[in-house]
Amino acid sequence: MNRMTRLTAAAAGLAVFAGLTLTGCASPARGGVEAIPSSAPAADRFTTVADAVPAPKATATLIDGTRVELASLWKGRPLVVQFTSTWCTQCTTAEADLRALSETYGDDLLVVHVALDEPNATIQKYLDDNEVTGPVIVDRTGSIWRDYAVKEPPMTALIDTSGGIVRMWPGGASGDQLRTALENVITG
């Protein structure tokens, strides 16, 4: 092996090592399809609310480009829908409560954020800064916001497993408000 071949081989090996090292150290992007639990908890843990108004259905796009049906997200567990924006200071304040609820209820609850049309990099920074763990829908046209009559963020909606809106909170819900409302839809 001549000197040039050895240098080329060494450089190629170093490039592969650096690529693998950097890939292994990078954290995955938040808010994509991997944030949706793959299996639903036992259905007997949930109850529906008799007078709940049907939630608007929509096909939505997650931040990673994956298309999802909103109805598929509330089929296996109650769903908290948090309408948010990266510039909204009240939204940022609510994130700690939403994260705590996700940790407390685990697979019995899914928290989904619906962000307005902002650059993905801006949304991703917000998700990273606030440790958002659930899926994030990017509503490029604002149609989901209109369907839920959201005028400004934050706005929180709780949807039961039959697709009924249990409660909506213009101005956002606190963790205590959500826990109280969840007592009506999660048993045991």
CA distance 163 to 166: 9
Query: Exposure pattern of 143-162 as b/e (b: 16+ CB <10 Å)?
Result: ebbeebebeebbbbbbbbbb
pLDDT of residue 5: 42
pLDDT of residue 188: 62
Q: Which residues contact 186 (CB under 8 A, 6 or more apart)?
A: 45, 46, 47, 78, 105, 108, 109
Sheet of strand 136-139: strand arrangement: 53-54, 164-170, 155-159, 79-84, 110-116, 136-139
Which pLDDT tens digit goes with each residue over 52-97? 999 999 999 999 999 999 999 998 899 999 999 999 999 999 999 9
Whether 145 and 153 have beta carbons less than 8 Å apart is answered as no
Q: Assess whether the previous peptide bond of 153 is cis (omega < 30° from 0).
A: no
CA distance 148 to 56: 7
pLDDT of residue 26: 52
pTM of the model: 0.84
Q: What is the mean pLDDT of each run of 10 residues along the chain (188 residues)?
A: 44 39 56 90 87 94 96 92 96 96 93 95 96 95 96 97 96 96 88
pLDDT of residue 40: 80
Percentage of residues of the chain with pLDDT beyond 90? 74
Give all domains of the chain, ordered by start, each with its CATH number.
Answer: 33-182 (3.40.30.10)
